[in-house]
Amino acid sequence: MRRTARHLGRAVSLKGRARPPAQIRAASALSAYAHDRRRTATLTVRRRDHSHSHGHVPEGDPDYEVTFRIRKTGETKTVPAYEGDNLLRLAQRHDIPLEGACEGVTACSTCHVVLTDDFFDQLEDDGDHADDREEDMLDQAFGLEPTSRLGCQLRVDARFDGQVVELPEATRNFYVDGHVPQPH
């Protein structure tokens, strides 16, 4: 009952409350995959690094604000973010329905997000572009767009402050929406 715990844990004082979600617990075991060499090296503006704070919610005043927009419903949610926050975990912490099936190890494309043109370009200009591994998974994402990225590969810094990150529409009915049998 992870979700219930995160929803309502604040209301009660229970020992079990600080138990991190499974995907976070497991991610540390797979840190060889989760470790993002390139981006760690290029981030220079970090004030505090919460990137290893798996499981516990960062404390203190948040550094930034990031807005998530769910395209399907048009709903937006602006959440406080900390320097070094992983965008996937940030979304999950605030119950934004970003999936992350592989737990952030670039083995699926369920944390697919779409950035604004300007923000995407800014990251590109700064050399923070998707690596081959991320691109390989993006290839398999639904509704891939030119400014698509994987949430699990993005770490929040000053450039993310005030940005709007969109969650593409996930539902797609394969058969009704025109299953095209592959001719051979």
Per CB under 8 A, residues contacting other proteins are: 1-5, 7-9, 11-17, 19, 21-23, 25-26, 30, 33, 99, 101-103, 105-110, 132-133, 135-140, 142, 144, 146, 170-176, 179-184
- List beta partners, residue 154: none
Rounded to 5°, the CA angle 95-151-163 comes to 80
Asked whether 105 and 33 are in contact (CB, 8 A), the reply is: yes
**Among residues 43 and 130, whose Cβ is nearest to other proteins?**
130
- CA separation (Å) from 20 to 73, 93, 136, 139? 29, 11, 29, 31
CB 81 within 8 A of CB 163: no
By C-beta, is 18 or 158 nearer to other proteins?
18
The whole-angstrom separation of Cα 130 and Cα 50 is: 22
Q: How far is the CB of 26 from other proteins (least distance, A)?
A: 4
Q: Least distance to other proteins from the beta carbon of 178, Å?
A: 11
Nearest distance from C-beta of residue 77 to other proteins, angstroms = 18
Residue number, 21 or 43, with CB nearest to other proteins: 21
